[in-house]
Structure formats: structure tokens, C-alpha cells
Chains A and B, each alone.
Chain A
């Protein structure tokens, strides 16, 4: 049981480039979320999804796009990378029927130069 898998683990982008952070879970969880973690700011919610085809914005959605075509996958797209998007990104998933609590991936460390 792999849980939540994020790829890549590390990435360096140039300003203006686009990329997709991949997230996959094999627990058949309905709920999935993307967070970014910055020093002193905790984890801030970017986008989340309550099921395939349903997504919504979190606290800091600007510059990011998501889609959820399957239960397993929830990719995060950076449309035009900016230095302010340098961060560690975490994907997480949770079941609506229990056991409760989000399971997090190991993160993607992104640097935009």
C-alpha cells in the first residue's frame, strides 16, 4: 500500500515556465488537497477536491490550476512559475467514511529562479 505518491521530489524551474506536480493515491479516498508549506506560515491550502470532477479553491489558489478526472489522481499545474511559488508542496487525501484524517505525501520541493 503506497498511500499518497508525489512526483517529482525536487524541481527547479525558470520564471515563466509551467509544470505539473503529480499526486496519486491508492486508498480510494474521495477527498484530496494540495498545500504549500513556507517557513513561518504553516501549511496553506491551494486547491481541494471532494471527488472526481469536483474541485474548489483554498486559501492561496492564484497561479495554480487543478483537475480531478479520476479518484486516484489530483495533479497541480503551475501556469507561469514565479519566484514567490518557491515552496514545498504537499498533496493529501482522506476518506469520507473513515478512518478519518488526511494522509500526506512526502512532498515536492520546488525552486523557481
Chain B
């Protein structure tokens, strides 16, 4: 049973556009929702994270939107750049250091 569902599997965006990746979760005990960015040949790196007590968190061009009632959260990348081309993973855990369950990933390609 997949606890964190991520879509789309791949995304192509033009430079300057907005990239949107969506995730849905099932376990209402989850209370920590990070996003990770992974470049080819590298390990994932923490990008931004949110807790369910806020509906939005912004760091630079990256924003997480969180909808607790719908059990959904999404990553928005504003003014997407070719350097943002990577695979993005959403994840969830019951606390910030408990078992971290990942989505299946979204491969983002940003074309100039």
C-alpha cells in the first residue's frame, strides 16, 4: 500500500514558467512533509519542509502548499530555471525524524 502518492511522474516546463508537483497521503498521523531534490548520480537533498499547522511555506522560488482536510500537499517552483531540472520527491513522516516515507518521484525538465 503506497502511503504517499505523487504526480505527475514527469514534467516539462519552459524557463520562467511555474512547475507544480502534487502529493497525497493516507495516514493522518503524518505531521512532517519534506520535499527532496535529487540530481543524477547524487543523493537526495532536503529542499523545503512543512508541518500541518500552516497552509503554506515559501523559501525563495519554492513554495509548499498544504491542504490538511484533503490530505494533499504540493510543491510550486516559480520562475523555473534549467538548473532546477532534477527529480523531486515528496515525503512524509509521523515526526520529523521518524520513518520517512517517500513518493515515487517527479522528473522535472526545464527547457530554455
A residues near B, CB below 8 A?
Answer: 4, 30-31, 33, 35, 40-45, 48, 50, 56, 58-59, 90, 92, 94-96, 100-107
Residues of B within 8 A of A58 (CB): 99
Q: State which size class the interface on B falls in.
A: 20 to 34
Interface string of B14-50 (1 = CB under 8 A from A): 0000000000000000001010100001111110010
Residues of A within 8 A of B41 (CB): 106-107
Tell me if B46 and A101 are in contact (CB < 8 A).
yes
**Please, which residue of chain B has its CB at the minimum distance from the CB of A95?**
B97
Tell me if A107 and B43 are in contact (CB < 8 A).
yes
Which one of A44, A56, A100 contacts B102 once the chains associate, using CB atoms below 8 Å?
A: A44
B residues near A, CB below 8 A?
Answer: 6, 9, 32, 34, 36, 41-46, 49, 89, 96-97, 99-105
The 9 closest A-B CB pairs, nearest first, are: A104-B43, A101-B46, A42-B104, A43-B102, A100-B96, A42-B102, A31-B97, A94-B97, A42-B105
Residues of B within 8 A of A45 (CB): 99-102
Closest Cβ of chain B: how far from A51's Cβ, in Å? 11
- Centre residue among B9, B41, B46 by max chain A CB count within 10 A: B46
